[in-house]
Amino acid sequence: MLEVEDGGRGLPSEALRQAGQPFFTTKPEGLGLGLSISGAIADQHGGELRLSNLATGGALAQLRLPLAAVTLTTSKQV
């Protein structure tokens, strides 16, 4: 899991509820696609992107992805 947090005010409840929906943005020049695309990529790989507010203030983004099975191969020298 990858976690990123900030020390700001956090997200207003309405923004937290709508974050990740296509074309929702709080930025005047934003397109509102970043979190939507990031969440879709996480979903495609069996993971998830979560946003929440910290009890101490600030926002928290969590990206969870499943571990992949790793197959190790050895090469034989002849």
Answer whether 0.75 is exceeded by the pTM.
yes
Q: Does a structural domain hold residue 52?
A: yes
Q: Give burial (CB, 10 Å; 0-12/13-18/19+) of 49.
A: buried
pLDDT of residue 73: 75
pLDDT digits (tens, 9 = 90+) for 22-70: 999 999 999 999 999 999 999 999 999 999 999 999 999 999 999 876 6
Question: What residue has token string 């974050």?
Answer: 19
Q: The domain that contains 34 carries what CATH number?
A: 3.30.565.10
Range(s) of the domain holding residue 43: 2-64
The per-residue pLDDT for 78 is: 60
